[in-house]
Amino acid sequence: MNNDLIHLLPDSVANQIAAGEVIQRPASVVKELIENSVDAGATKIHLFLTDSGRTNIQVIDDGKGMSETDARMSFERHATSKISDPSDLFALHTFGFRGEALASIAAVAQVELRTRRHEDELGTVLHIAGSRVEKQEPDMCAPGTNFQVKNLFFNVPARRKFLKSNQTELSNILTEVERIALVNPEIEFVVKNNEVELMHLQRSGIRQRIQQMFGKKVGQELLPIEVETTIITIKGYVGVPESARKKGAHTFFFINGRYMRHPYFHKAVMEAYSQLIPPTEQIPYFLYLTTDPTRIDVNIHPTKTEIKFEDEQAIWQILMASVRETLGRSHATPSIDFDLADCPDIPVHLSSTAAPQLPKPTVDNTYNPFAEHKPSYNRPSENWEQLFKRNLQMPQALPPDEDSLDNIPQCETTIPPLFNHSEEPSQPSFGDCCQCNGRYIITTFKGQLMIIDQHRAHVRVLHDQYIHQLQNQRSASQGLLFPEMLQLSVTQSVVLEELLDDFTALGFDLSNLGGGSYSIQGIPAGIEGLNPTDLVRSMLDNAIERGSVLKEDVHGALALAMARSAAIVVGQVLSPEEMHTLVNDLLGSSAPAYTPDGKKVYHLIDEMALNNLLG
Ligand code: ADP
Ligand code: MG
């Protein structure tokens, strides 16, 4: 009898394990297949999906195709035509190099490959499922390659179960396509899901491609940048300061033709805008870096998008300086010899982003669920942009917080009155309230000193209120006299369509005008001072960031985005009654101690701690 315990895993099992690394969801298949098509020199790539890729993913290209043998070989692990010796690893010019993708896909799906080289009369078709080749025969296919990946994870039920909703998988797929399409504007891309065309990008230049993908407005607000140094070449576009926004700016770095994430370089770009936009806002950028491949290390995990650079600090400096120079050239920023007499002063750029004062239509107050028998706070008088301007003028303000809008000293703002949680007012378990620095409410609670952050407390209370509204589908909309236009990216519109009912439940009145354009005709009552387009965008981006459409998650994201925007800010003077109501509502909320995003709302100091403090 053989007592040896160790044996080699059959290839099919080894491949399945390896596949777990590379293929996590339909979007990973799409990424690998499209990258292969790009590597194969395609000028046209069509992606057809069924059920957001769960049932079927088909990628058709007009690239160079494969021979009969290569078609078979391409599914072997570590089979690649792209590198052959270790030194190649340090000089990569293609997306793929590991020769793992196709083997991994074939291990966890049913794959049909049709391919023909342009010089061949006949192509080949190959069926493979769970790493087993089922058949291969000659085929009359068009030149190029046609991959069909069916029933992903058909043999790994545990993985299949973990796929997210169709909308989430689709938005992940579109994100991957976006990243590839932005670097390859000379390639035509068509994307369809269940026969519906989601994207049709014609061959063009970079700027037109950006415009095709993200709308005319984004395209028009870009400044070109082009710098060549010995260690790096930087080309692309950065947004004008007016294009800044709080969330969801399109920020893309590419290195030698591939997308990368680079938080450190991101800071360099933001640094260039430091005096021009609020610190919590971001501008869009599309920056294409080129460097000698030996100076970077891409030989990292296949699904990671981070890349290591040899000259990181030097590149940081070059990046920052060149963005600054671009801004300077476009008169977006002052420079030392800037002739002030001839040019408008800088804040013009900031104030020009201010939305026109919204009209205030008269509404039936009994229709407003926010106004349930609670004292209202100070009435609105300014919009957020103006508040920010004030903040700029008072740089000595308050200690910094993650949210710069928090730092606004003594001003009136728009805030909705608090929501009435309980029908019978509960007996207060806290003492009298006083306000400190326009930021904290100080009171006593069960014999302890309680210091409450007023903004965070209000975020908690409003969040609960909005969640409640979403669950009960209560809508209280306030019509806008002048509907606002909203231009969304494909991903954003897909998500919005999915969430339309929730937006309506919150009180938004949105109409789809086609082509990613929407008009906002109504907004939830009680948030009149906020910029509706920014709000909807940031709510969508929040939902996208969550990467999930579990109802509770989305409700949470929507409610949080709205609560953050609508909550009272630091600097808002509160009357004793208002403080009392806020603290009362906070203590009656679902989780008074923390904001929905985990920030501490209050701090308690007990008597012993006080004794210790005072010695
Ligand atoms: P890698 O891209 O890392 O080389 P893959 O498993 O993705 O590994 O692909 C294996 C090989 O199959 C590639 O090196 C290439 O030669 C071939 N191949 C894959 N897709 C295509 C395609 N669309 N057109 C032509 N050849 C392809
Ligand atoms: Mg590949």
From the CA of 37, which ligand is nearest?
1
Nearest-atom index, ligand 1, CA of 100: 6
From the CA of 102, which ligand is nearest?
1
From the CA of 147, which ligand is nearest?
1
Among 39, 57, 128, say which to mutate for ligand 1: greatest number of ligand atoms within 8 Å of CB: 39
> Which residues is 146 bridged to in the sheet?
60, 114
Among 21, 22, 80, 141, say which to mutate for ligand 1: greatest number of ligand atoms within 8 Å of CB: 80
* Token pair in block for residue 528: 């009149």
Report how far ligand 1's centroid is from the alpha carbon of 196 (Å): 28
Q: Which residues form the pocket of ligand 1, taking CB atoms under 6 Å from any ligand atom?
A: 32, 36-37, 40, 61, 63-66, 74, 79-82, 96-102, 145
Q: For the CA atoms of 391, 397, 401, 404, what is the dihedral angle to 10 degrees?
A: 0
The Cα 438–Cα 431 span in angstroms is 19
Instruction: Report the chain's terminal Cα–Cα distance, integer Å.
Output: 79
Report how far ligand 2's centroid is from the alpha carbon of 59 (Å): 13
Nearest Cα to Cα of residue 187 among 38, 49, 47: 38
Dihedral sign computed on CA atoms, order 395, 398, 404, 408: negative
* Token pair in block for residue 75: 């599914």
Report how far ligand 1's centroid is from the alpha carbon of 69 (Å): 13
From the CA of 89, which ligand is nearest?
1
- Amino acid (1-letter code) at residue 534: D
Among 29, 36, 45, say which to mutate for ligand 1: greatest number of ligand atoms within 8 Å of CB: 36
Nearest-atom index, ligand 1, CA of 59: 23
Helices and strands (H, E) in the chain, number of each type:
18, 22
Tokens 């519109």 belong to which residue?
A: 493
Report how far ligand 2's centroid is from the alpha carbon of 33 (Å): 7
Report how far ligand 2's centroid is from the alpha carbon of 19 (Å): 13
Residues found in the chain: 615
List the residue whose alpha carbon is closest to atom 27 of ligand 1: 36
At residue 548, the pLDDT reads: 53
* Strands ordered across the beta sheet of 44-50: 132-139, 123-129, 110-116, 144-150, 56-61, 44-50, 188-193, 196-201
At residue 417, the pLDDT reads: 36
Report how far ligand 2's centroid is from the alpha carbon of 264 (Å): 28
Ranges under pLDDT 50 in the chain: 333-426
Contact yes or no for 133/127 (Cβ under 8 A): yes
- Phi, psi for residue 307 in degrees, rounded to 5: -135, 140
Q: What is the pTM for the complete model shown?
A: 0.59
The Cα 450–Cα 604 span in angstroms is 5
Report how far ligand 1's centroid is from the alpha carbon of 10 (Å): 23
Report how far ligand 1's centroid is from the alpha carbon of 490 (Å): 28
At residue 534, the pLDDT reads: 84
Report how far ligand 1's centroid is from the alpha carbon of 112 (Å): 14
Distances (CA, A) of 513 to 202, 487, 489, 518, 551: 22, 10, 13, 5, 26
Nearest Cα to Cα of residue 557 among 604, 591, 506: 506
The Cα 566–Cα 586 span in angstroms is 16
Among 37, 76, 102, say which to mutate for ligand 1: greatest number of ligand atoms within 8 Å of CB: 102
Dihedral sign computed on CA atoms, order 428, 434, 438, 439: negative
